[in-house]
Amino acid sequence: MAAPDDVISYFPRDADFATLSEIVEAARAGLPSDVRDFLDGGAGREVTLRRNRQAFERWAYRPRIMTGIGAPDLATSFLGVPLGLPILTAPFGADGLFHPEGHCAVARANAAEGVASIVPEAGTHAVEAVAAAAPVAARIAQIHPMGRPANFAAMLRRIEDAGYGAVCVTVDCPTVGWREGTRHNRFDPDPAVLTGNYPVGGPVALDEVFGQLFTRTEPDWTWAELSERMAATRLPWMAKGVLTAEAASAAVDAGASAVLVSNHGGRQLDGAPAALEQLPEVAAAIAGRAQIALDSGIRSGTDVVTALALGADAVVIGRLAAYGLAAAGEAGVRRIHQLLRDEMHTVLTLLGAGSVRDLGPDFLQKVQP
């Protein structure tokens, strides 16, 4: 007898992918080796990449039993965006490397599963095209604080005009991280996977916006400069790439409504701490002043629950979403969300938590590494 739609299938005999690991394996098997290494890899000796995963293993759950709770509620909101799951997809660039439809497919999958997209500036498809593909999910657009202020202001206007509800400002990427794997592979993707917003022959060239990543000819922007330039938009914004209490406080003082605790998935500064390790410090610094999201190292529904218990209001998934995209396009990303949802449902039930909003540090205890 078929199970109702709202009941988890613990024995998914007919599913194309029964586990997240199957999706990852399918994605890695189908990608060219250099693209696979680009997706899998991190900066330097990949110390921070490993730390991101190890940090989750240092926490154990303290379940509450016989609580009388019913089915847990996974819904929440972030930056005014309602979410069926406490998950957003990351603004990973070069998305056309993983599937021709890139973030358009991701956004459609997100819309179907109650997840929101953070749409990249250096992506294969323009912010307008992704918004048109799934306006319900394409609610946050990314921008980089570099280049000419006039170009920055023009992109902010495009984001507003396309109907986005918030902006994600990536503050941890003044230059590209030292990535041994991509250098070893002489990785040189087609520029088209990066030029959706700045097409060749367009009014603004990609190099005009991102040239600072490589040339370092201009000084970095300051928080004061970013605050002044973000004052031009009515949209709330999030600072992506925060790892310390000091940076979190500076971001909120500059006008950010949220911060994303992140080390860029271990792809920028090797030797940086795990994002999860820094989450309690950030939460303590800005509690009640701004919302908090976490990325870097999320690989399961259990990881999502741990991050929420340590102070995150939502998590952001990058590699997982890219794996789903590479494995089966829109359907692959949808399956990622379905598996995360089902695992979270199970974990919350076993923890005795009635809602993702009920989670807190009292559900956890530190264990020896």
Q: Are strands 116-119 and 59-61 parallel, antiparallel or unpaired?
A: unpaired
Place of tokens 């089915």: 71
Task: Count Cβ neighbours within 10 Å for each residue of 260-282 and write b for 16 or more, e otherwise.
Answer: bbbbbbbbbbbebbbbbbbbebb
Which burial class, exposed, middle or buried, applies to 325 when counting CB atoms under 10 A from its CB (0-12, 13-18, 19+)? Answer: buried
Question: Which tokens go with 185?
Answer: 């592979």
Compute the Cα dihedral for 99, 100, 102, 105 and give only its sign: negative
- Of 125, 264, 337, 345, the active-site residue reads 264
Q: Is 264 a known active-site residue?
A: yes
- Of 367, 299, 292, 357, the C-alpha closest to 85 is 357
Known catalytic residues are 264
